[in-house]
Structures are given as structure tokens and as C-alpha cells.
Amino acid sequence: MSTVQLDQAVPNFQLPSTGDTTFNLSDYQGKNIIIYFYPKDNTPGCTLEGQNFRDNIAEFQAHDTVIFGISRDSVRVHENFKAKQAFPFELLSDAEESACALFDVLHLKKNYGREYMGIVRSTFLIDKAGVLRQEWRKVKVKEHLAEVLEAVKAL
């Protein structure tokens, strides 16, 4: 399978979602879409990133933009994380790593000398026509939200 490219249409994909639904990218044609990949629910950086999107949801909605978070955690774990943090957006479970492969966010990581394949924190902005307009890879959570909002406003 090929991976997404800037200024190209993002292929449709489906993932299990919180809210007892299945996410289907094509269902959101006509809206801007933020998809952010993060390593793991209930960890400090991932929690802060989700809170930043949550706390600025009105500004994204004002620019006709929906937000989805993706990790390899199960839908059940996502439901608890979403409820605990009061996230007003759905979290998608990519246990099969299909979206991770499509967006090329799974890479070799090292932690305390141990090597493993993990999600590299990344965000993607897809426009109303389904075209990938912006990508941020190896995201640093603190300054990230302002960059994403600026890009959404520029569409």
C-alpha cells in the first residue's frame, strides 16, 4: 500500500471509533479534517495534546473542521480516555495498523535502550475535497496547536 502525499487525495479508509461507530473518511467530504496520531492513551504528552485540541474545539468548528485522534489502543480504552478527558471528538482504534501504514507514522523507536515499533506523533490536515494539505511529523506538543490552527484558518 502506498502512503499519503501532500497535495494528493487521501484514500478512503475505515477504523473502529468511539461512540459505537465506524469512522469512514469519505463521510467527512465537505469538511476540513484534522487527524492526529499519538502513541498511547493516558500518557502525559498524549493527554496534553488531546486537551489542547479539546480546549480549542470551538475555533476548529468555526472553520468547518472536525478532529479525530488515532492510536493503536482499543476502542474500549479509547472510550475511557475520551470520557475521562471530556474530549468532544472521536478517537479511532488502529490495532491493525492500517492507517498507521497509510500515513507512515509507525517507526522504530528507542526507550531506555529498548527498540520497538511505535507511533511517531503526527498530525495531518485534509481539506474539504479530501486532499492532504499539511502534515506535521515528530510533533512537539507545546507549540503544535497554534501551527495547526493557523493552517486551518489559511484554507
In the residue annotation, 100 being an active-site residue is answered as no
Q: How far apart are CA 104 and CA 114, in angstroms?
A: 21
Complete DSSP assignment for 51-105: HHHHHTHHHHHHTTEEEEEEESS-HHHHHHHHHHHT-SSEEEE-TT-HHHHHTT-
Residue for cell digits 501551527? Answer: 147
**Catalytic residue from among 4, 35, 46, 120:** 46
Which positions are annotated as active-site residues? 46
